[in-house]
Amino acid sequence: MKQPYDSSNSAHVDRAQNEEDISQNQLINDLKAVMDTKAGRNVLAWIFDLSKPHAISFTGNSTTFFNEGKRSVGVPLYAAIMENHPELYLKLIEETKGRTDE
């Protein structure tokens, strides 16, 4: 039977940190696998178009909250790509240059 997590137990903390590191590394590798394909870059470009991570979200009314909700999807995705594979983001931009919002 697995022991409950005890934050005062250094072995438990180390194991949890190791599991988190493995999970984060897997996510980074998966993101690269998606970005390595044209289809994956197209889907991410669509997500960025919907979430508008670089847009100003303030409207002066409750639409701001809606806009911030959309941005909360795109901003961490953009940050993960730029931190780990910025060259692939540049490729995405180059491929989608000239597209118009649909």
- The pLDDT score that the predictor gives to residue 5 is 82
Helices (H), the chain: 10-35, 38-51, 63-84, 86-96
The Cα–Cα gap between 47 and 41 comes to 10
In tens digits, what is the pLDDT along the chain, a chain of 102 residues? 677 888 888 888 888 887 887 888 999 999 999 999 999 999 999 999 999 999 999 999 999 999 999 999 999 999 999 999 999 999 999 999 877 654
- The pLDDT score that the predictor gives to residue 100 is 60
**SS3 of 76, please?**
helix
- The pLDDT score that the predictor gives to residue 102 is 47
The Cα–Cα gap between 49 and 41 comes to 12
Q: Do 68 and 57 touch, CB atoms closer than 8 A?
A: yes
